[in-house]
Amino acid sequence: MELVVDTNIVFSAIVKDSYTRLLLCNQNLVLYAPEALISELNEHEKEIREKSGLRGEEWGELMGLLLSKIRLVSRKDIARYLKKALEFSPDKEDAPFFAACLARDVPLWSNDKKLKEQAAVKVLTTEELVRRISGYKKRK
Please say if the pLDDT value at position 70 is more than 80. yes
pLDDT at 69: 93
**Nearest-angstrom CA–CA distance, 22 and 114:** 25
Q: Coil, strand, or helix at residue 68?
A: helix
Lowest mean pLDDT segment, chosen from 12-16, 70-74, 88-92, 113-117: 12-16
pLDDT at 136: 59
| DSSP-derived secondary structure letter, 63 | H
| Domain contains 15 | yes
Q: Give percent of the chain with pLDDT exceeding 90.
A: 58
| Domain contains 140 | no
| Domain contains 67 | yes
| Domain contains 81 | yes
Q: Domains in the chain: how many in total?
A: 1
* Structural domain that includes position 40: 2-134
Nearest Cα to Cα of residue 132 among 114, 113, 106: 106
pTM for the full predicted model: 0.88
CATH of the domain at 114: 3.40.50.1010
